[in-house]
Amino acid sequence: MNNISFAVRSIIGESYLTSSNNHELVEEYLSWKGSYALAASRCYRLWVERFQAFVNKPPEALSHIDYAAFAKSISGRHAPKGIQFALNIVHNYLRFYSEQGRLRFPLYLAQVPKARSNSHAAITEGEYQRLVAYLRSCRPLPLRDLAIVMLLHDTGMRIGELLSLEIEDIEQDRSAVVKTEKTVRERRVFWNPDTDSILHQYLVERINHGSTECEALFTGNGHHFDHVITRRGVGHMLKRNLLRAGIEKKICLHSFRHTFIHRLARLSVPDAIIAQLVGHSTPATIAHYTKLSRPEFREYAEKQLGCVGDLSTSYPQV
């Protein structure tokens, strides 16, 4: 394509790139990104490719309208945090070409919405015991569902980590090594003897009735027995059993992780240790879980109150 044709098409905003052109633009960016952040370049690929395929234009022909149209196209289809993550990646992609002078519109027009983290209510010990009691009362005993609930409670695993477990990962000392979902680092998780008993009953059922070709620990039921159960499937299972157990509070799979962290915090376990146990990269990421669960906070607050004496006599009544 000659320069005149290129300029004309850029001015009128026509989408004319081939898949090969789009691929070259993406690879140019990812090659640069991988030169200093290889892991980031790998996880960025999906969203950069989606954006480039959507706009189907070179940087010189892009406008803030193209960016806004892409943002609108993913709105409602992903969680707010997921959308923020995706648009941050796209923003970085655009900045790469902006700093080369190839982007025509000011980068500040490509706004990234700030998403608020979802609030996950922790499941209380009473609610957990009520859920387990209901599952134990069912006949036939839902061993898979019971094992999932009890493992989530005892280990604080993310649901993706739980579903990545294979039969051979279960060790005799009531533990397993899992790959931390967000950092791909390995850590060991532990569970109590009661959970271990249910888990081994389930293992007998799983090995006797499941496919030998599927190595996953947790599979679907019925005609899905040969496939790993999905996150959505586990979510539906939990919601259904919570309602049947008479628990109306909004509890999700991540609630068990919050409960696990809160239990450790109440035992005065340092944040650095908690971070290791739950697979967080730094203790700082634990802070928003533990800031309302520290028993020593009350102790410190009462100590400072003791230092100031009776506040009712220290200040005039209003």
* Mean pLDDT in residue range 122-136: 95
- Of these ranges, 204-213, 246-255, 272-281, 302-311, the one predicted with the greatest mean pLDDT is 246-255
- Enumerate residues 6+ apart whose C-beta is below 8 A from 32: 96
Q: How confident is the model at residue 294 (pLDDT cuts 50, 70, 90)?
A: low
Residue 15 has pLDDT above 70, yes or no: no
What is the SS3 assignment for 182?
Answer: coil
Report d(CA 93, CA 59) in Å as an integer.
10
Mean per-residue pLDDT over the chain, rounded: 82
The least confident of 63-77, 134-148, 217-231, 254-268 is 217-231
Of the candidate CATH numbers 3.40.50, 3.30.530, 2.40.50, 1.10.150, the domain formed by 3-109 belongs to 1.10.150
pLDDT in tens, 168-198: 999 999 999 987 766 567 889 999 999 999 9
Q: In this structure, how many other beta carbons lie within 10 angstroms of the beta carbon of residue 137?
A: 10
Predicted confidence at residue 89, as pLDDT, reads 94
AA identity, residue 257: R
The domains spanning 3-109 and 125-295 adopt the same CATH topology: no
Q: Flag whether the pTM goes above 0.85.
A: no
- For 125-295, which CATH superfamily applies? Intergrase catalytic core (1.10.443.10)
Q: How confident is the model at residue 280 (pLDDT cuts 50, 70, 90)?
A: confident
- Enumerate residues 6+ apart whose C-beta is below 8 A from 103: 59, 60, 62, 94, 97
pLDDT in tens, 98-114: 999 999 999 999 999 88
Q: How confident is the model at residue 246 (pLDDT cuts 50, 70, 90)?
A: very high
Dihedral over alpha carbons 209, 215, 219, 221 (to 10 degrees): -30
Beta strands in the chain (DSSP E): 175-179, 186-190
Q: Tokens 């070179």 identify what position?
A: 58
**What are 288's two structure tokens?**
């928003």
Domain boundaries, the chain: 3-109, 125-295
